Amino acid sequence: MSEKKQTNSIILALVAFTAVVGISGLIGYMTIPQEEDIIQGEIEVSEYRVSCKLPGRIVKINVKEGDYVHKGDTLAIIEVPEVNAQQQAATATEGAANALSDLANAGTRREAIESAYQIYEQSLAAKELALNTYNRMQRLFDEGVMSAQKRDEAYAAFQIAEAQSKAAQLQYELAKSGAREEEKRAAKKQAEAAKGAVNVVKSLLRETVQIATEDGEVTSIYPKVGELVGMGSPIMSISMNNDMWANFNVKEDKLKDFQMGKTIKVYIQALDKDIDMKIYSLKDQGSFAVWKATKTTGQYDIKTFCLKARPCKNEPMLRAGMTAVIR
């Protein structure tokens, strides 16, 4: 009987202990405040890189890291000797082509026309003299005084003088009429091609002067003055501080509190202040960012979404990389 009582006492003690532990755990769960999930993100900013289309040497950098630049500002200058040589050659070619085109369109100069006319007049006189000489030789031959050989020589001289007169006449006519239309068109096309070559070289020279394409802050400068840079090598990076946003990774069971267009409070740790931001993007992060259930029943896999929000007003001190926490 005493053993039975002892067993009952042990059972009652175990039940009481279990009940005390369970009640204590319940009370602790209900009284200890539950830690809320912290949604932490990071500030990001749009930026662009300034790169050269040509290989060359950095001869001047007009800015330093941290400077604010405006669209159109000259950032750096690159020296490309090959392009300078091409410019000189193209300019010389253009000058020669333009001169030929002008000459073809302007026609033959007055001095050249007068000279061709004088040669033509002289050839006519020589032709007339040769004809008279031949006629005299022919009469003498008919009279039996002159040999046939002398007459034939006189006739050959006349034929030569006649041919020279025709050539001089043609030269004179060409001088008066100037270049033919096809020659003028060819000279014009040659001048246009030379001008096109000069424009190509000028466009290459513009690439040696690096210009800011948008307003922003110089965040990084890669080469130093005197260093060689390859084609397409970055020279500097510029952040466009007027295009900033915060990236947050949010579990989908929390998305009910974040709708598109909603304004949220975001704490910026580096500035120790809250700023207002408006949600403008919600995007599924994909299967690689899934929170897997830790229990076999009663829970589901939860996806992660990328939430993006922009500041509602300009924040001059806000910078890329700063920690942002949703309040």
What's residue 147's pLDDT? 77
Residue 1, domain extent: 1-34
DSSP helix/strand/coil, 166: helix
Give the position of tokens 């912290």: 38
Sheet containing 209-211, strands listed edge to edge, beginning at the edge strand earlier in sequence: 209-211, 74-79, 56-61, 228-229
What's residue 269's pLDDT? 93
Q: Which of 233, 236, 229 is nearest to 213 (CA)?
A: 236
Does 206 map to a domain?
no
pLDDT, mean of residues 211-219: 94
Does 5 map to a domain?
yes
Instruction: Kindly indicate the confidence band of residue 66, based on its pLDDT and cuts at 50, 70 and 90.
Output: very high
Instruction: Kindly indicate the confidence band of residue 132, based on its pLDDT and cuts at 50, 70 and 90.
Output: confident
**Which has more confidence, 90 or 76?**
76
- Radius of gyration of the chain from its Cα atoms, rounded to whole angstroms: 49
User: What pTM was computed for the model?
Assistant: 0.55
Contacts of 279 (CB under 8 A, 6+ apart): 258, 259, 260, 261, 262, 263, 264, 307, 308, 309
Considering Cα of 277, then 279, then 283, then 284, what sign does the dihedral take?
positive
Does 226 map to a domain?
no
Q: Residue 19 to residues 9, 10, 23: CA-CA distances in angstroms?
A: 15, 14, 6
What's residue 288's pLDDT? 52
Does 185 map to a domain?
no
What's residue 210's pLDDT? 92
What's residue 163's pLDDT? 77
- In Å, how far from its chain's centre is CA 119? 61
Does 133 map to a domain?
no
Does 200 map to a domain?
no
Per residue in 87-114, pLDDT tens?
Answer: 565 565 666 556 556 655 555 566 677 7
Does 54 map to a domain?
no
Alpha helices in the chain (DSSP H): 2-31, 81-106, 110-142, 148-177, 181-206
Q: How many domains does the chain have?
A: 1
Give the position of tokens 């067993």: 7
Does 287 map to a domain?
no
